[in-house]
Amino acid sequence: MSFFSNLQLYYVRKVKESLHNPGFLFMAVGTPLMYLLLFAPMLQHFTGMPGFTSGSVLNVFLPGVVVVIAVYGGLYVGFGLVDEIRQGIIERFRVTPTSRLALLLGSVLRDVSGVLVQTLLITLMAIPFGLKVYWGGFIIVMILLAIISALFAAFSYALALRLKSEDAIAPIIQGISLPIMLLAGFLLPMEMAPHWLQVAAHFNPVYYAVEASRALIGGQVNTPVVFQAFAVLLPVMALVFWWAIRSYKTAVA
């Protein structure tokens, strides 16, 4: 059986799992809506401040929010895997003649799909509120978000396989998610930050994604921030996947 038919089976299994979960559907639509209705209105007064100089405040705010959705859409998936390990499902799959990479990627692609659907929804919902979308740039934003959510999902799954306990992975995930979010300038642009914070942000891969997304949605495709984002994120993703695949091959699930 080919790798792609393995991948398809594992992917469809996870997609069905999501669609059967009413909580997931609610969160998929509810989260973006809450950001738009409960937070975006506060930003109206920022018009003209550092980082908010051009166009609608939503053009600064929305690219940040979709990156957050991508990070969280990946980072927390390990909890589900711990449960599958406990039920013996992963062990059962590991004694079938299917590819371990397909098992990992089937789940990761489901997580990426969820993030992309959410991104599309929130973007369409934001247009009536004043968002100006340059669709050519938006497609590249989607590629960046796919990379980010895949990276964090693979990291989360590998962590779950190695530690096999919600209690062990929760502090690690929470411990890294907060600095990553704060140092990415996703709610307020880093231009407003003091110099030392701006320097610190440059060590955060997610920061580059936020900067690139803002440029891309506004129509600036051929700019250094976009190239920087890919130059930083692709190697990080390769590293994380290498580690995750190793975990799937060796971990005693």
Partner 1 sequence: MEHIVLTNGLKKSFKTQGKTVEAVRGVDLAVRRGEVFGFLGPNGAGKTTTLRMLTTLLTPDAGEATLAGCDLLKHPQRLRERIGYVSQAGGSDRGMSAWENLVLQGRLFGMNRHNAAAQAKALILAFDLEAIVDRKAATYSGGQRRRLDVALGMMHRPQLLFLDEPTTGLDPQNRARLWEEVRRLRDSGVTIFLTTHYLDEADALADRIAIMDQGKIEAEGSPRELKKQIAGDVVLLGLSADGAHNEKALELFSTQPYVREASYEQGHLRLYVHEGEATLPEILRLLDHAQIGLKTISLSQPTLDDVFLRQTGRSLQEA
The DSSP 8-state label assigned to residue 223 in this structure reads: S
Query: Is residue 165 near partner 1 by the rule CB under 8 A?
Result: no
CB of 108 to partner 1, least distance (A): 18
CB of 8 to partner 1, least distance (A): 9
* CA-based nearest residue to 149, from 176, 104, 113: 113
Q: How many CB atoms lie within 10 A of CB 179?
A: 13
* CA-based nearest residue to 63, from 149, 117, 153, 133: 133
CB of 247 to partner 1, least distance (A): 14
Q: What is the footprint of partner 1 within residues 92-121 (CB under 8 A)?
A: 92-98
d(CA 107, CA 149): 11
- From residue 34 to residue 73, what is the string marking binding to partner 1 with x (rule CB under 8 A)? ----------------------------------------
Q: Where are the alpha helices (DSSP H) in 127-223?
A: 135-163, 166-182, 195-201, 205-217
**Is the four-CA dihedral 150, 153, 159, 164 of positive or negative sign?**
negative
d(CA 56, CA 100): 46
Query: Is residue 22 near partner 1 by the rule CB under 8 A?
Result: no
- The smaller minimum CB distance to partner 1, of residues 93 and 207, is found at 93
Query: Is residue 87 near partner 1 by the rule CB under 8 A?
Result: yes
- The smaller minimum CB distance to partner 1, of residues 45 and 86, is found at 86
Q: Give contact residues for partner 1 (rule: CB under 8 A).
A: 1, 6, 9, 13, 16-17, 20, 84, 86-89, 91-98, 252-253
